[in-house]
Chains A and B, each alone.
Chain A
Amino acid sequence: MNRTLAGLHYSESHEWVRTEGNIAIIGITDFAQHALGNLSYVDMPEVDDEVTAGEEFGAVESVKAANDLYSPVTGKVLEINSELEDAPERLNVDPYANWIIKVEMSDPSEIDGLMDEAAYIAFCEKE
């Protein structure tokens, strides 16, 4: 079972991005939360930290696994989802309703390098 949403942009490391103007809202996909199992902790950057496309910005942990989070875009962290600090399981319940960070993009064209829903579904089938 691998739920996806139309209108989102997807990375090969299983992050999704929704854009609002030059702001990128970033989370992890249903595929990612399934692979990890029950999440126990989300390691997030601090507001105002710089993130770079393709580089780590945090990690998600379950009891038996840990995966780094890679930023799909470059920019400055505007906001982090502090609800996840006490309730990481929200990402298991609905990974698309619970974002992780919001980033002010310095190069919105980076979005063009990500996959759309159809491409991501095809990508996951090969994984």
Chain B
Amino acid sequence: MKYYDKLIFELSRKGRQGYSLPDTDWAESTVSIPDGLKRASMPALPEVSEPDTVRHYTNLSDMNFGVDTGFYPLGSCTMKYNPKINEEIAGMAGFQDIHPLQPRSTVPGVIKLYRDLSSALSAITGMAAFTLNPFAGAHGELTGLMIMRRYHICRGDLGRTRVIVPDSAHGTNPASAAVCGLETVQVKSLPDGTIDVGHLKTLLDDTVAGIMMTNPNTLGLFETRIEEIAGLVHGCGGLLYYDGANMNPLLGVARPGDMGFDIMHLNLHKTFSTPHGGGGPGAGPVGVAERLKPYLPLPRTDGEEPEENAGRISGFAGNFGVLMKAYAYILMLGRQNIRMAGPLAALNANYIKESLKDCYRLPVDRVCKHEFVFDGLEDRSTGVTTLDVAKRLLDYGFHAPTVYFPLLFHQSIMIEPTETESLETLDAFIGVMRKIAREAVEDPDMVKSAPHNTPVRRPDETEAARHPVLKFTDNRFNEDNYNRCGTGRL
């Protein structure tokens, strides 16, 4: 990676153009837009040629690290390989040109895709039905909680306004609850990160709408008492929500629907290989048990609109382009290969864990599932922190794991290798992690000042937050564009 310093605005020269549009052949109309409805001056957008634009963004891409660049063991994010056929399928011109409001009769292929993907997700998770509308995991959570609330409200059970969330949960869970108008109640974790069932019992009453859980949990450990928990929560009239963030190791092994969960979301960009796209677009379909089907949100591609529906949660029916990629992956997996997906993800995680636990602290020494958490270096005598280890990994060409989450430990390093990484890649990563542990003792200052080989080094985040600069401003550039009114009718 090499440092490249330009912003597109700095390449702009007045009078350059990067577009190619046909000349207008419309006769002059007698109407025009009144001045009072028009903007005063043209927007100061860049004026660049197409070759300069392509080169600029190619240079930017050279400062980026993706799954295609190298190993990306970011815990809780399931950075598996993104098959290239996914992209070709979603890019087919026929799909790109479909308007979302076209009558159902003109898009039987689209309707079939929604039906086939929903059925496949039901088969994989054991849920009765899915909405494919939610745009992301967090959007899925919110949708799932809306379904939960709507279910209670439609039954006249209006006092259920609290949702139970483990203290080890990702911050999104309580935030989604708050947006949905629910109060969060924390249930304690045991030292191994699993739910303290004794504490849970004290929280259950007729104000509880439900509980949100991941399984395996944030530490990559299976909640072995899940059937008991399901019985308790259902017994008090609540519902169980499954946060699908950690679904990957269960592919081919177990299904949330069989564990007693009533509502769940999946992250198709994680579990089903659609790319993460630098943060999105993803897709967060929500599955429900049979009795909750009427509460699925709008819009629906099945043409039904039951009164109990949870409301409209998206402009149209979700990220169709992403849904196609996920289904392409599911077809490649098929009923045969899916059997190996979860077990190989768990194998990779356990292999790394066992290979490093002598030089990194392992707070819970158990067989893990798809991921596990170290609590920093074993030897902390030189003051090298988890952040330093993460930055040093960048020098060696690896993406850093998730750091400082979960909050159960002070120096968390959360590693999730996924099933698409080879033994050689894992060995290379293990070798570097061990080398960094040695460096931390032998040359701690070098580790503390890492990274050394990246385009930039430890940007000043405090300064960025104290004096936010959130957009490009250059007076010279703006003056060039100021008072320009352009030509043409508008």
Contacts and interface: CB of A to CB of B under 8 A. Distances in A.
Contacts of A61: 465
B27 to A, nearest CB: 57
Interface residues of A, number: 9
B465 to A, nearest CB: 3
A89 interface: yes
Chain A to chain B: the 6 pairs with minimum beta-carbon distance, closest first: A40-B465, A38-B462, A63-B461, A40-B466, A63-B465, A63-B462
A115 B465 CA distance: 33
A41 interface: yes
A98 interface: no
A89 B465 CA distance: 11
Interface in A43-93: 61-64, 88-89
A64 B403 CA distance: 12
Interface of A: 38, 40-41, 61-64, 88-89
Interface residues of B, number: 5
Interface in B419-478: 461-462, 465-466
A40 B467 CA distance: 8
A40 B466 CA distance: 4
Contacts, number: 15
Given A38-B462, A40-B462, 9 more contacts: A40-B465, A40-B466, A41-B466, A62-B462, A62-B465, A63-B462, A64-B404, A88-B466, A89-B466
A63 B467 CA distance: 12
A40 B461 CA distance: 9
A40 B465 CA distance: 6
Contacts of A62: 462, 465
Nearest to A87: B466
Which of A40, A41, A61: most chain B Cβ within 10 A? Answer: A40
A64 B465 CA distance: 10
Contacts of B465: 40-41, 61-63
Nearest to A37: B462
B461 to A, nearest CB: 5
Contacts of A88: 466
15 contacts: A38-B462, A40-B462, A40-B465, A40-B466, A41-B465, A41-B466, A61-B465, A62-B462, A62-B465, A63-B461, A63-B462, A63-B465, A64-B404, A88-B466, A89-B466
Interface string B172-203: 00000000000000000000000000000000
Nearest to A63: B461
A112 to B, nearest CB: 32
Contacts of A40: 462, 465-466
Contacts of B466: 40-41, 88-89
B316 to A, nearest CB: 35
Nearest to A64: B404
A35 to B, nearest CB: 12
A64 B461 CA distance: 9
Nearest to B467: A86
Nearest to B465: A40
A18 to B, nearest CB: 26
Nearest to A61: B465
Interface in B291-329: none
A38 B465 CA distance: 10
A76 to B, nearest CB: 29
B7 to A, nearest CB: 23
A14 B152 CA distance: 40
A41 B468 CA distance: 11
Contacts of B462: 38, 40, 62-63
A88 B463 CA distance: 11
A51 to B, nearest CB: 23
A61 B466 CA distance: 10
A31 B54 CA distance: 52
Nearest to A89: B466
A64 B405 CA distance: 12
A88 B467 CA distance: 10
B119 to A, nearest CB: 43
A87 B57 CA distance: 36
Contacts of A41: 465-466
A40 B462 CA distance: 6
A27 to B, nearest CB: 19
Contacts of B461: 63
A45 B465 CA distance: 20
